[in-house]
Amino acid sequence: MIEADDRKLPANFAGTEAESDFAAIVAEYTNLVYSAAMRFTGDPHDAEEITQAVFIIFSRKAATLKSGTILSGWLFQTARLTAANFLKGKIRRQIREQEACMQSSFNDADNLAWEQMVPLLDEAMGLLAETDRNVVVLRFFEDKTVMEVSRRLKLTEAATYKRVNRALEKLRKIFARRGVVLPTALISGALSANSVQAAPVSLAAAATAATAKSALIPTTMTALVRGTLSTMTWIKLKTTLLTVAILLMLAAGTAIGFYKFGSAKKSSTSVQQAPFLIVPGVSVGKVRKGMSATEVEAILGKPEKWQGRMMVYDRKLGMAVAQSNSGVSVIFCGDSMLQYPGVKAFRGRTKEGIGMESSREEVIKAFGPPTIVKPWNGGQEQLDYKVLGLKFVLESQKVINITVDFRTLQ
């Protein structure tokens, strides 16, 4: 038998003789190519597709192969490359499908939330203070960005973000009191997607015409206008009376207020100074995954500053809390911003006892070999435990930062 490597390969495999040569080569090397593809994919159907692709490539490249080419070696390498490309494409498709599925899930969740919110929304909006109601209308009903809302209200972006979160938290509590329990992230998504519907095209023109001095307004509409104006006057009067009552109460209870403030401050300080337990994927102290900024402030107090969407408590607690659309997503413990002495301030530890200034050896003994080890910020080192959502930054073999990343476990 003539070895396939010794055959003269034609420029193409058209023609009876050439086709028979090609068929003989395919028959001889199919098992080799298929086996390589199977080792890569573990799927018979994928391996068959790869095998066919390899021989299509061979049919087009045969005439360019150098004399003395070991055909089995060439086919093996081509099978490897083809299988690798196939897997890349398959992974990309799976990612796109997962993203589409996730988006569909988010949309379904938003739609379900909206169905629950609709009967209560306008009443709930009416119960908000004017400042909170305005920020919800600007952010969600007018679909403005945080930057646009901040310009309209003449606030910083950080202050605007806090005000939006506060308003959403109030809506959440109002809904909860009426039996509709929804996280602020779903309320936000549902408002963004559904709060404004397109009005009939002719409505704007009709409304404009109705305001003209010479326009004849139907009796029913006149009654509606008068009733609404009366309601607005009553609300304004009620607000004024309520303000006066609050001022009188404050004047009468100043001493009690100072006493309560001092007690609350003392209690808050004692809570903040208590050690934090780091629970991967769940919480750091009482700050839990998915909490809103308002909920975090209720536990830790006002942040020293906002840095983007980061609530910074470096000097006081040695930690920073990153917010996302779904609430708390990452907590940095220790020298979090790499500029303050957070190592000494942060007192938290994992249940294994790992905290600030724990040694590299202690970390690995507690959690095993890290998923990734890499240099970090000059002479520092990062140990990344992806499965746990934990990252440890070490300097001189000692822990100076622990990052608790809730996103990796979603």
Query: Tell me: the pLDDT tens digits for 341-389?
Result: 556 678 889 998 999 889 999 999 999 999 999 887 667 888 999 888 8
- Average pLDDT score, the chain: 78
List residues bridging with 251 in a β-sheet: none
Q: How far is CA 390 from CA 291, 360, 407, in A?
A: 19, 14, 11
pLDDT tens-digit series, residues 86-108:
888 877 776 766 655 555 544 55
pLDDT at 392 over 60: yes
pLDDT of residue 97: 62
Q: State phi, psi for 384 to the nearest 5 degrees.
A: -110, 120
Its pTM surpasses 0.95 = no
Query: Mutual orientation of helices 254-273 and 219-252 as an angle, nearest 10°?
Result: 80
What phi and psi values does residue 156 have, to the nearest 5 degrees?
-75, 160
Residue 281 CA to residue 243 CA, distance in Å, equals 45
Give the pLDDT of residue 10: 53
| pLDDT band, very low/low/confident/very high, at 403 (cuts 50, 70, 90) | very high
Q: Which domains does the chain have, with CATH numbers?
A: 4-94 (1.10.1740.10), 128-194 (1.10.10), 270-409 (2.60.460)
Rounded average pLDDT over 119-146: 85
CA–CA gap between residue 160 and residue 308 (Å, rounded): 12
Q: What angle do CA 105, 109, 111 make, to 5 degrees?
A: 115
Q: What is the DSSP letter of 9?
A: P
